[in-house]
Structures are given as C-alpha cells and as structure tokens.
Amino acid sequence: MPTLPSNPSPESEAAPVTGDQHASALSASEQPTSRQLNAIRLSGSGTSAPVLLDTIEEVPIAFSYGGIAHGVMMASPTDLDDFAVGFTVTEGIASGPGDIRQVEIRLRDDGCEVDTMLAPEAFHAFLARRRVRSLRGHTSCGLCGVEDLVDVARADLAQRRTAIAASATPVIELEAMRNALESLRNHQPLSRRTHAAHAAGWATLSGEIVLVREDVGRHSALDKLIGACLRNGIDVADGFCVITSRCSYEMVQKTVAAGMRVLVAVSAPTALAVRSAESAGLTLVASARSDAQVVYAGANRILTIG
C-alpha cells in the first residue's frame, strides 16, 4: 500500500477542505450500506419461512492524521468525508473546517482508512496531545479518545459552552420542531431498509429538514451530520439538530463542540446529558415525537410552550 501523504509544512498554502474537496470521493455504490442476507423468520404460531433481508453494513474506519494513527471507529461505510470533518472537530483535534487541509479516503478489504491533513498549528497541537494508546471505538458507547476522568472535561468544550451560554440562543416554534420530527422519517432510507440505522438531521428554525446523515452508530451519524453542515457552510447556530437515538452525554458533548445551540432527541436523555446541556446553555428536548415532547433545558426558548 502506498505511503500516506505527510502533513503540510508551515509554508503550505493549501485551502481548507470545503464542499466536495477531498482526495478521493466515495459514492454509495462503491461502498454498500447494506447487503441482502438469507435468514429464517419464525412466526408466533411456531412456523418458519426463509426470507431475504436487507442487513446494514458495519466496518472499521481507521482515522489517522498526517499518516499518524489515531483510532478505529465502527461505522457505516458512507459519507466518510463528512465523518472525517465532524469527528475531527467534535474530538477537539480541529476547531473548525479551516484547520483541515485535505481528507484522503482509502478502501480496503477489511475496512476503510481516513487520513486527514491538518493545518500546521492544529497538527502540532495534535502531536503535543498525542499519547501512546490504543483507541477502540464502539457502535453505541464510550468517549472517543478519553483515557481518564480528567479528559472528560475538555478545555475546548468549556470554551464552546461559554460561547453558547453568552450567545443569543434562537427561539424555536413548537410547531416547527414537531414538523421536523415528523418529516425526518422521510429522510431515512437506510433505516427503512434495514431497521438498524440511527439518523441525525439538521433543520432550519422554520422546521425544514435540510441535511440528514444515517449510520449504524448514533455517534457516527451525528459526527457525519456535523461534518456535512461544516463542509456546506451551514450556520449551525441558526437552526436545530434532531437525532433518532437516546441522548447521552456524548451526544450533548458533540453538539456543543460543533457550536450547535438546540438538540432534539427522539429518546430519553441521561441525567449527565441534562446537566451538561444546562451548563452549556444548550436547549435540550428529548423523548420527542411529533405529538409530544419533553423539554429538559431551555424551556423559555420554545415558543408557545406553557
């Protein structure tokens, strides 16, 4: 396998990665998100029948920076350019897309390699923070890149919390939020086929869903959405994020790291997620369906709520 390119030198004037600028674009046809597999369906009456079912794909995605291995996450093999940008920002490796010079994606029989070239200052900071470790990501749980309890309270997240708390958080119309929750179902083709994909969507303040990313992992779906928003120049402070999964601390952490101000989750939150949202000034709505929702933080920012 050819050697991964080195990180740009301080003299490099390469432009930040935006839109579709990355080393090797992947189409959905190159990496299938699901496969049809034979199975046996058992009925309540005890009968059985052969079936052919769409089954979601899950592959290891190896992240590296300037050719230096960082960690492996399990995810769906699609929208990897968005995943690279979103993961890099929410992990605090880059402060934004301006710190990212290039993303190179390589397909392998046993997974995918995603190598991200950082701006010199961000790359030097990455090297300074890097420790000898083996980072193993999982589909549903875990804090990526965290080795001990001290690492949970990241300095960059504290700065983002301060910025969000001090900013004018948008007021959301209750009807707009409910419309977004209802229409999100129409933007989940992978979930309809496999019944095994999480989704993260971005909606305008009027409730229009403008971007959706799906993945076998809820963290990865959110990272991909964040990356897509940043790559498309969407102002994440002017709208809200909707996720189909439960709202754990990590989901709030990623939302805050991206600079988002409103998070709406279909399932329930954890107590730590609620405390984190309150301290960050993040509006948090959870256990949310199109006809009923629970506001855990920032109730004064939901218009028409009693």
Closest CA to 269 of 282, 259, 151, 258: 282
Contact 173, 304 (CB under 8 A): yes
- Tell me whether residue 141 is one of the annotated catalytic residues: yes
Q: State the catalytic residue, choosing from 112, 141, 144, 229.
A: 141
Cα–Cα distance, 217 to 133 (Å, whole number)? 23
Cα separations in angstroms, 234 against 27, 63, 165, 211? 22, 25, 20, 10
Query: Which residue has 């004018």 as its token pair?
Result: 168
Cα–Cα distance, 90 to 99 (Å, whole number)? 13
Closest CA to 237 of 261, 214, 264: 261
Just list the catalytic residues.
Answer: 141
